Amino acid sequence: MQRSSRLTGASVAAAVIYSLAACAAPEEGNDAAGADNTGQEQGQSSEEYMTQLVADAEKEGELNVIALPPTWANYGNIIKTFESKYDIKVNSKLPDTDSQTEIDTAKRLQGQDSAPDVFDLSQSVAIANTDMFAPYKVQTWEDIPDANKDPEGLWVNDYGGYFSIGYDSAEVPAVTSLDDLLGPDYKGAVALNGDPTTSGSGVAGVFMATLANGGSADDVAPGVEYFRKLNEAGNLIPVDVTPATIESGQTPVVLDWDYLNAAETKALPTWKVVVPDGAVVGGYYFQAINKDAPHPNAARLWEEFLYSDEGQNLWLAGGARPVRADAMVEAGTIDEEAYSALPPVGGDPVFPTVDQTTKAAEYLANHWSDAVS
């Protein structure tokens, strides 16, 4: 699959993310119950609520998900584990599509049994479509930092990472900074995963280059200038990055999210991942429940699973950084081996805001093609 496809189109702003979404559990149909958006009735314990939720979800028997590639953040294993844990069939549609198509599909299929129950969205698309989300707070709600969730439970960060440099140590010299990539040893070797005029991962790459060259998220001109130099040196190659291009040696250096680069180490042991110091760009995805979900209880149970220790550790196993990581480290429930295997990060991370990514997109629309043509 084209790994940048999850971030294309209107999902061009791929940074700060806030909260989890879902619906309050209904007694029947899709009517909300529970004023605090946890789904629990007054006097009902968490254990009683979860027992009832599992029963109601298994009665529905199905869950519709969209835009979840099996190799993206370990979603293939996440889906298999959920199906084996509960008597629920997961219908995964359009796995390689982008965030805006998730929303468009939900609108097109509104009222039909095949409509998506849940969303996994980039920042800009999520923020623009909160009227399509139903409020819900999972049982582990208090573990999620306030900065990463909507106070009413309309949406919440699920997993994220930092933009990185991945490289095949058997093909090119070790990389420690973006400046290294300007040298002759990397001629015809460097690929940015996504065109920054249409891809969120591409924009994140420009942000990273901007920070590495003394700029800030308010002005990406230094980042564009860096890619101009990289292109003029003959080092930047216009190739759509896929696992196949990496494993075949066509793209021996890839600028991409660390969890996507890290996933390649399983297939290519010589593949290394670096998050450059002083150029740390972070981003999370948004999780939300469709307010018109055809399987609302299964949707809530899916959220409970994703934000459980088990679900969070499954994202971690895919190289993604789960939003509850800090709380799980403190509680001793984190997968320590997987957590310690994450690429180290030095310096203060920058999470571009919606305004900053919008401004960057406007600048890139006018200047990117001139820089790299």
pLDDT tens column, 301-330: 999 999 999 999 999 999 999 999 999 999
Q: In the prediction, which pLDDT does 3 show? A: 35
Taking the CB of residue 367, how many other CB atoms lie within 10 A of it? 17
How far is Cα 282 from Cα 163, in angstroms, rounded to an integer? 7
Per-residue confidence (pLDDT) for residue 110, from 0 to 100: 97
pLDDT tens sequence across 77-102 = 999 999 999 999 999 999 988 888 99
Q: What is the pLDDT of residue 28?
A: 34
pLDDT of residue 20 exceeding 80:
no
Contact 356, 281 (CB under 8 A): no
3-state SS, residue 118: strand
Q: Is 62 left (phi over 0), alpha (psi -120 to 50) or beta?
A: beta
Stretch among 27-41, 200-214, 302-316 having the lowest mean pLDDT = 27-41
**103, exposed or middle or buried, with CB in 10 Å at 0-12, 13-18, 19+?**
buried
Cβ neighbours for 314, distance < 8 A, ≥ 6 positions apart: 74, 77, 78, 81
Q: What span, in angstroms and rounded, lies between the C-alpha atoms of 337 and 205?
A: 28
Q: How far is CA 18 from the centre of its chain?
A: 12
Report the alpha-carbon angle 245-270-182, nearest 5.
70
Higher pLDDT, 124 or 273: 273
Bridge partner list, 254: 166, 191
In percent, how much of the chain has pLDDT > 90?
77
Positions of CATH 3.40.190.10 in the chain:
3-160+283-340, 162-281+347-372
CA distances 239 to 71, 251, 266, 312, Å, are: 20, 8, 22, 32
Residue 111 burial class via C-beta count within 10 angstroms: exposed 0-12, middle 13-18, buried 19 and up: exposed
| Rounded Cα distance, 94 and 67, in Å | 5
AA identity, residue 274: V
Give 36-47 pLDDT, tens digit per residue: 899 999 889 999
Distance between CA 167 and CA 276 in Å, rounded? Answer: 13
pTM comes to 0.80
CA 35 to chain centre: 30
pLDDT higher than 50, residue 201: yes
Burial class (CB in 10 A: 0-12, 13-18, 19+), 261: buried
Q: How many CB atoms lie within 10 A of CB 216?
A: 13
In CATH terms, the superfamily for domain 162-281+347-372 is: Periplasmic binding protein-like II (3.40.190.10)
What pLDDT does 158 receive? 96
Q: Which amino acid is at 237?
A: I
Could you tell me the CATH superfamily of domain 3-160+283-340? Periplasmic binding protein-like II (3.40.190.10)
| pLDDT, tens digit (0-9, with 9 covering 90-100), for 278-296 | 999 999 999 999 999 999 9
pLDDT (0 to 100) of residue 2: 37
List pLDDT tens digits, range 148-159. 999 999 999 999
pLDDT at 6 over 60: no
Confidence label for 121 from pLDDT (cuts 50, 70 and 90): very high
CA distance 92 to 89: 9
Distance, CA of 25 to CA of 31 (rounded, Å): 8
When computed from its CA atoms, the radius of gyration of the chain, rounded to whole angstroms, is 21
